[in-house]
Amino acid sequence: MINRKYTTQMDAAKQGISTPEMLAVANDENIKVEDLMALVAKGRIVIPSNINHKALKPVGVGEGLKTKINVNLGISKDSNDYAVEIAKAKKAIDLGVEGIMDLSNYGKTREFRTELIGFSSAMIGTVPVYDALGFYDKELKDIQAHEFLEVVEQHGKDGVDFVTIHAGINQYTAKTFINNPRLMNIVSRGGSLMFAWMRLNNRENPFFEYFDDLLDICAKYDMTLSLGDAMRPGGLADATDASQIQELLILGELTKRAWTKNVQVMIEGPGHMAIDEIEANVILEKKLCHGAPFYVLGPLVTDVAPGYDHITGAIGGAIAASKGADFLCYVTPAEHLRLPTLEDMVEGIMASKIAAHAGDIGKRVKNAKAWDNAMSHARQQLDWDKMFEYALDPEKARLYRQGTNPEDEKTCTMCGKMCAVRTLNKVLNGEDLNILRA
């Protein structure tokens, strides 16, 4: 253990100690460290930063901060090319993602995880229950309750910054689900595993039953607890139903218990959801979970767009972020179809970055709109180099521009000399328009 006067970022904040991580986040977000510290103490901002993650560039997630994005990757039995997933992680970091979730569930999961943590400046998340079957080489039914916690402990030792734990799907939530049938049942992988384990063993969910032991592990490594949405809707028909809300109520109670032990908490959210339900879901999470940061997958606003779900997710993500969601899990064109390729991942990242920034403008994050105003000024000046500089993806913008040959090099091949910006600039400067003449 590192010798310091606090256990977690929340513990430090409650004591009035400004940690190096807080100072870094305050500088990055251009806010006062005292204001940041107050929100960390209240649980409204988290700074996931395991004491064993040495390469980490700390970021804050929560109230008043820029919306962050997360990428999912990792090895599986059907796609277990270790090198490909490492390459994807490095590309994701180059593109500026703030979080990477290692969802590996087959083969050399620990070797992959430790290498990833060794070089990643982005915070690393995992879902320990995915790792349990391979870790013990046992069928799900045969895993003992305490063994689930031992996997969490190993992830903490390895330097994982946040862990998704499906503790809200207890026996009462399971009964609610059985009594309120769904079209898509349970689509959360971790949620389905915990539900199955409870049914097969006729036992309570170990993460719920031994929640205090789980909190002790998280506090030991300053590992943020991302309370998983086992009952998230996997189709529009199941959104905002009894099972989802019942789990959310339990997550709110677990959040308060975590805060008493100074464990930082994020709440995970849906899922698939009609566009007109998104705002209400953000409000519900913030109310029922006491302002804890909200981490959403999508939401995907329609079920019928396989191959284009990076778009359906970006639409929902932008709305969710504008209404107060804090962390967007990216969605790629491969969602529902396959493990994403590197190209799929890039498409998903860019769609999520657009959604996050659009959300920041909507919720008036400090200086968010200044970026757009700078781009507008460059466009007004027809300054293409500046436009590329301010572009979210400069490489793609330059590629589209290259190879075109407008008559006036200041314009583009869409409007040519009829460019509205060119026209106004010349007229207001008292110049000849010269639209038809060479």
Has 257 been labeled as part of a binding site? no
Has 419 been labeled as part of a binding site? yes
Give pTM, 2 decimals: 0.95
Residues 293 and 425 occupy one common structural domain: no
Note whether 438 and 417 are within 8 A (CB): no
- Whether 213 is covered by a domain: the verdict is yes
Number of structural domains in the chain: 2
pLDDT digits (tens, 9 = 90+) for 230-277: 999 999 999 999 999 999 999 999 999 999 999 999 999 999 999 999
Q: How confident is the model at residue 137 (pLDDT cuts 50, 70, 90)?
A: confident
Residues 295 and 196 occupy one common structural domain: yes
Report the share of the chain in percent with pLDDT over 90: 91
Has 373 been labeled as part of a binding site? no
Quickly list DSSP for 79-137.
S--HHHHHHHHHHHHHTT-SEEEE---SSSHHHHHHHHHHH-SSEEEE-HHHHHHHHHT
Q: In terms of pLDDT, which residue wins out, 370 or 404?
A: 370
pLDDT tops 80 at residue 222: yes
Q: Name which of 74-78, 83-87, 402-406 the model is least confident about.
A: 74-78
pLDDT digits (tens, 9 = 90+) for 179-205: 999 999 999 999 999 999 999 999 999
Has 322 been labeled as part of a binding site? no
The residues near 66 (Cβ < 8 Å, ≥ 6 apart) are 29, 356, 360, 365, 368
Has 72 been labeled as part of a binding site? yes
Residues 423 and 306 occupy one common structural domain: no
Residues 309 and 429 occupy one common structural domain: no
Residues 358 and 416 occupy one common structural domain: no
Has 49 been labeled as part of a binding site? no
Residues 337 and 258 occupy one common structural domain: yes
Residues 311 and 434 occupy one common structural domain: no
The residue out of 332, 362, 392 marking a domain boundary is 362
- Whether 37 is covered by a domain: the verdict is no
State how far the Cα of 263 lies from the Cα of 140, in Å rounded to an integer.
28
The DSSP letter of residue 224 is E
| Average pLDDT along the chain | 96
Has 123 been labeled as part of a binding site? no
- Whether 35 is covered by a domain: the verdict is no
- Whether 50 is covered by a domain: the verdict is no
The residue out of 362, 377, 399 marking a domain boundary is 362
- Whether 343 is covered by a domain: the verdict is yes
Has 437 been labeled as part of a binding site? no
- Whether 383 is covered by a domain: the verdict is no
The residue segments making up the domain with residue 425 are 410-438
Residues 74 and 194 occupy one common structural domain: yes
- Whether 26 is covered by a domain: the verdict is no
Q: What is the pLDDT of residue 299?
A: 97
Q: What is the pLDDT of residue 75?
A: 84
The residue out of 300, 329, 362 marking a domain boundary is 362
Q: What is the pLDDT of residue 303?
A: 98
Note whether 224 and 162 are within 8 A (CB): yes
Residues 123 and 230 occupy one common structural domain: yes
State how far the Cα of 398 lies from the Cα of 379, in Å rounded to an integer.
14
State how far the Cα of 212 lies from the Cα of 191, in Å rounded to an integer.
20
pLDDT digits (tens, 9 = 90+) for 21-44: 999 999 999 999 999 999 999 999
Residues 310 and 434 occupy one common structural domain: no
- Whether 317 is covered by a domain: the verdict is yes
Token representation of residue 64: 């008043």
How many C-beta neighbours within 10 Å does residue 125 have?
25
Has 231 been labeled as part of a binding site? yes
Residues 425 and 355 occupy one common structural domain: no
Has 357 been labeled as part of a binding site? no
Has 415 been labeled as part of a binding site? yes
Has 230 been labeled as part of a binding site? yes
Q: Which amino acid is at 102?
A: D
Q: What is the pLDDT of residue 156?
A: 98
Has 329 been labeled as part of a binding site? no
pLDDT tops 90 at residue 1: no
Residues 429 and 349 occupy one common structural domain: no
What CATH number is given to the structural domain containing 213? 3.20.20.540
pLDDT digits (tens, 9 = 90+) for 335-368: 999 999 999 999 999 999 999 999 999 999 999 9
Residue 276 host element (H or E):
none
pLDDT tops 70 at residue 438: no
